[in-house]
Amino acid sequence: MSDVDNGSPVDEVCLLDMDACYETFDKDGDGQLNFDEFRLICKALFRNDKGHIYPLPEDRARHVFQIFDKNDDGFIDKEEFTFCWNHWIKVIVRPVSAFLVVDVQNDFISGTLNISKCNAQQDGSEVVEPINRLLETVPFECVFYSLDWHPPDHVSFIDNVHMRELHVSSPVSADKAQAYDTVVFAGPPPMKQRLWPRHCVQDSWGAELHRDLKVLDGAVKVYKGTNSEVDSYSVFWDNKKLTDTNLSMQLRARGVTDIYICGLAYDVCVGATIADALAIGYRSVLVDDASRGVDLADIEKTKATILTNHGVIVDSEQVLAMVEGRDRRPELGYKLAMELKHAMEDQD
């Protein structure tokens, strides 16, 4: 039961039936919902199964209300509520969730690009246990594993820096460049590139998923960084946004609404992937304790980017309730409403 109106209990079942929901929250019985009544719906929606209510700030609640009040009369009528129900409430209560495990590969854990030797000194192997636990206990609609999959002459490898001409604006010459430096290749067009130790070369031991990582039958592997001339941090796109992987197509085919993302490295490929997921329009969640990174300052920047763009950062123990629709976050509800607004504007 949910207490949403000064002690008046509302059964969660009303959030599963459109007519019951509309009648329950139409408190004055006038056949439409005013803003205060809509806020009661938000109060019932954005909570967890332990009774904790997540506040949706009034300005955001009003913004969402205005999206569904299509004729701007200050009320949501039954027709407007039908759209709200089908495209917003149903998604919040019954999301379709994908799990994306990013680059949990040997080279990043104990190989040539072992992230424990980077600035943050984080142990990449620590992501395996929480990821495996999620795979064993959470009923995701679909699971994806991404793999860095570089050809030997890849542009990001420090030992390949002499293979391509540098632009005059490059802050470091080829002779002085070291791993983790950023150079500018001549192109055309000129291209900034962070240099890394040789890693995840196609068909090598370093490119294999870690032996202790659980790989589910029926899961999809997505290979990235396969073009010699451009790096690819995000699992959606290469860094120049020239070529996409098949991930977007796979997500659309499965009707995915929510993506849970984790892996290696927090501030590089995981961060780039969730940034793209948010930009595309997905309700996106980063699993913090199942991710490890390279640089502490960059990890904090990644977190700030996620939160600024209406994503959510959680620990793995919170994921099951969210996937099952028992823990419903207002940030994700607001994100969905903004995407609906953009889609309606594109149709006009």
CATH of the domain at 103: 3.40.50.850
Find tokens 């205060």 and name the residue.
36
Q: Quick one: 278 exposed, middle or buried, by C-beta within 10 A (0-12, 13-18, 19+)?
A: buried
| pLDDT of res. 312 | 98
Indicate whether 340 belongs to any domain.
no
* β 220-224/142-148 pair status: parallel
| pLDDT of res. 187 | 86
Indicate whether 332 belongs to any domain.
no
Task: Please report which confidence band the pLDDT of residue 9 belongs to, taking 50, 70 and 90 as the band edges.
Answer: very low
Indicate whether 277 belongs to any domain.
yes
Total-model pTM: 0.94
The answer to whether residues 163 and 66 belong to one domain is: no
Domain carrying residue 71: 18-93
Last residue of a domain, one of 93, 108, 137: 93
Q: How far is CA 209 from CA 7, 32, 112, 204, in A?
A: 52, 54, 14, 11
The answer to whether residues 64 and 163 belong to one domain is: no
Indicate whether 339 belongs to any domain.
no
Which CATH number goes with the domain that contains 58? 1.10.238.10
Last residue of a domain, one of 195, 222, 253: 195
The answer to whether residues 38 and 110 belong to one domain is: no
Q: Whose CA is closest to 123, among 300, 293, 299? A: 293
Task: Please report which confidence band the pLDDT of residue 13 belongs to, taking 50, 70 and 90 as the band edges.
Answer: low
The answer to whether residues 251 and 150 belong to one domain is: yes
Q: Are 264 and 272 in contact (CB under 8 A)?
A: no
The answer to whether residues 264 and 239 belong to one domain is: yes
The answer to whether residues 40 and 22 belong to one domain is: yes
| pLDDT of res. 7 | 39
| pLDDT of res. 1 | 44
Determine the average pLDDT of the residues in 276-298. 97
Task: Please report which confidence band the pLDDT of residue 347 belongs to, taking 50, 70 and 90 as the band edges.
Answer: confident
Find tokens 């959510």 and name the residue.
312
pLDDT digits (tens, 9 = 90+) for 207-219: 999 999 999 999 9
Four-CA torsion 319, 323, 327, 330, nearest 10 degrees = 100
Last residue of a domain, one of 93, 120, 141: 93
Whole-number Å distance between alpha carbons of 234 and 231: 9
Whole-number Å distance between alpha carbons of 78 and 91: 19
The answer to whether residues 72 and 101 belong to one domain is: no
Whole-number Å distance between alpha carbons of 155 and 101: 24
Catalytic residues: 103, 224, 269
pLDDT digits (tens, 9 = 90+) for 27-75: 999 999 999 999 999 999 999 999 899 999 999 999 999 999 999 999 9
The answer to whether residues 182 and 230 belong to one domain is: no
Whole-number Å distance between alpha carbons of 68 and 75: 9
The answer to whether residues 49 and 136 belong to one domain is: no
Residues ≥6 apart with Cβ < 8 Å to 57: none
The answer to whether residues 114 and 52 belong to one domain is: no
The answer to whether residues 123 and 241 belong to one domain is: yes
The answer to whether residues 125 and 267 belong to one domain is: yes
pLDDT value at 346 more than 90 = no
Length of the chain: 348
| pLDDT of res. 3 | 52
Domain count, the chain: 3
Mean pLDDT of the chain: 94
Indicate whether 267 belongs to any domain.
yes
pLDDT value at 5 more than 70 = no
